[in-house]
Structures are given as C-alpha cells and as structure tokens.
Amino acid sequence: MAVPQRGALDDPWLDELSGRIWSKPEFSMVPIDAQEVPRGPYAGPRLDERGLRVVYCGIPSDYGTAFLLHLIEKRVNLVAVVCSARWQRTHPKADLIARIAGYLGRPVEVTADANAEAFVRSLSAYEPDVVVMASFDQILRAPTLAVPSRGWLNVHPSLLPRHRGPEPIYWTIANGDLEAGITVHLAVPRVDAGPILAQRRIEIDDDDTAGTLSKRLVEEGLGALDETLAKLQAGRIDAIGPELERGTYEPPVRQTGLDWDQPFEKIERLVRAGQPDQPPFFTYRGRRRYVYGVRQVQPRAGERLGATATVPPDEMLAVVRDAVVAVRWRPVGHTHALRPLAGQQFP
C-alpha cells in the first residue's frame, strides 16, 4: 500500500507535525514527549458537527498520534479527546494528544482511571456515538464500555485473535510470523476479545523491525478505521466473533536478556522485534549493552559461546549456537523497557 499523502490537514502546525511523524522510517509505540507548542490559532477547516459523535482515546505515540491526525484530516465530528495520565510517572501534564485537541478547540479529559465513576459521568456528558481507541493503556470495564451508543472501537495491530495482548507487533516478529495485520474490533471487558469489524493483513519483510512494521500497519489501519466508521454511520455493520481458542495471548515485554545458546535466526528476530522501543541486552564486563542490530559473520566452528571481542566503535563479536555474529549496541536502552507499570495494559 502506498503511503497516504500528507499535507491535507491545511494547518501549518498540524501539517508539520504529521510530516515529521510520517517521515520516520520506524513508528514508536512510546509516548512522544513533545515540547513545542503552536505559535498561533488553528487555521484549518472546521471539523464536521454532524454525523457520528466521536471521542478519541490514545497515548501520544507515533501510532496513537497518527490515528488522531487522520480523524482530523477526515473532519470527523470529534466531540472530545481522552488522554491517559498512567504513562506519566511523575508530574502529569497535558500531552501531545491533549495539545492537539486544545488547538482545535475541542474538550480534553485526562484520566488515570477510565473506569472511575467520575470519568464515566464526564464521558457520558458528551453523548458519544462511538469512542475510537488506539494505543490506550487502560483496560475498560462494562460501565465505561456502555457509554457510547455504538461502542468502543479498538485499533489493534495484529491479526486477531492471534497476538492478543499489549505488544502484538513485538511478538509477531519475535515468533517468526510470515504475515501481520491490524484489526478494528469492538472492545469488551476481556482484552482484545470483542467482535471484529474490519481487518487488514500484510506480508512481513525479512528486514522488518517492530518499528517499520508498525508504520506499515498504521497505513493499512487508517483505511480499516474509515471503513468501520462509514458502516457504523450507515447502520450496516457486520461483526465477526473471534475464535479465541484458535488465537494467542502474550504478556507485556520486559527487559530481555539475550541467551547466546540460541540459533542466529531466533536472536536476529528478537533484535528486530525490539527495534526501536525494546532492544534486548547482554552484559559485558558488568555493564548492559542494548542491541540494535546483528549480522552473521561466519558459521560457528567450536568457539565458546558469548561476547568475545569489541569491534570499534559500536560493534562486538559474539558467538551464538550456530554462528559468529557482529552485534551493534548502545549503552542505553529505551525507557519503554521500564514500562508497563504494574497492572498496565496497552490494548
């Protein structure tokens, strides 16, 4: 699929923001801690005030921000935006999602608990027809899910029911899948278990990282979301109940230490799965080194497993079960490796 044409937001700040996100070779699922603010008032076309009343929920990752900007580009009737304060460990502040909504003159709700009675009352006041959720980090219970008249739409980057859980793109690559997908489904109290409304699938390239695959999946997901909203508007939605017993669920990804007694193919997949947000690490001379790339140098011929020699400035030779490899590393891993918080889930 061709990259969607950018620049249709018709506002200098939003066009610049969208262009910056889409120019990235890899999409991150980590919140963007944007510091810049608009220098003037919103200059784009007014959003629609008819049609489905849409509330958007998300965290300000490349993934989540891209879907919000797309809804703005489509001029949907965006009546409010919901931001999560859970990913902000200290000093919660208005994030990029909130800043965009405020720039448009749209109400912003910030919550650390989307199931709290006070939040449910606030959300109900907007009388939403549908809530669109992309990379939102909270699990919703029945009273919250019952607020919008046509349900919560979750945009989940996997071929549900395969890879249910908070970090499906990582597991798609780490497990060696041949294809990936993105699914729009109705949210229910069980994680990623609701009826499927639209789904797109793509082949995985041999050099795909979690970041490059995330970007390609968002490109597909924009059309799937448009299709779903159009069907909801027309009142002709078709839902498919997922066969959960044929699917998989994987837990959040913690910091992953490389086991040299693994074949090169598996280690190489773990490295690609961890790029750019969750690089695996190895320990050398008492310090962790986070791996961002690995290539095979030669087959193993009896060498001892483990890191063996430094190749300046940022590579190291290592011996794995079936090969001698060159490992690209950095001294610091991404802070996403510290997340999620206890009990936190990313739908």
From first to last of the 347 residues of the chain, give the pLDDT tens digit: 444 455 589 999 999 999 999 999 999 998 877 777 888 999 999 999 999 999 999 989 999 999 999 999 999 999 999 998 775 654 566 789 999 999 999 999 998 899 999 999 999 999 999 999 998 878 899 999 999 999 999 999 999 999 999 999 999 999 999 999 999 999 999 999 999 999 999 999 999 999 999 999 999 999 999 999 999 999 988 889 889 999 999 999 988 999 999 999 999 999 999 999 999 999 998 999 999 999 999 999 999 999 988 887 789 999 999 999 999 999 887 654 344 444 444 33
Which has the closest alpha carbon to 119: 152, 147, 88, 151? Answer: 147
- CA–CA separation, 64 and 196 (whole Å): 20
Structural domains of the chain sorted by starting position, each given as residue range(s) with its CATH number in brackets = 12-246 (3.40.50.170), 264-338 (3.10.25.10)
Taking the model in full, what pTM does it have? 0.92
- CA–CA separation, 37 and 107 (whole Å): 17
- Burial code (b: 16+ CB inside 10 Å, e: under 16) for 225-244 equals bbebbeebeeeebeeeebee
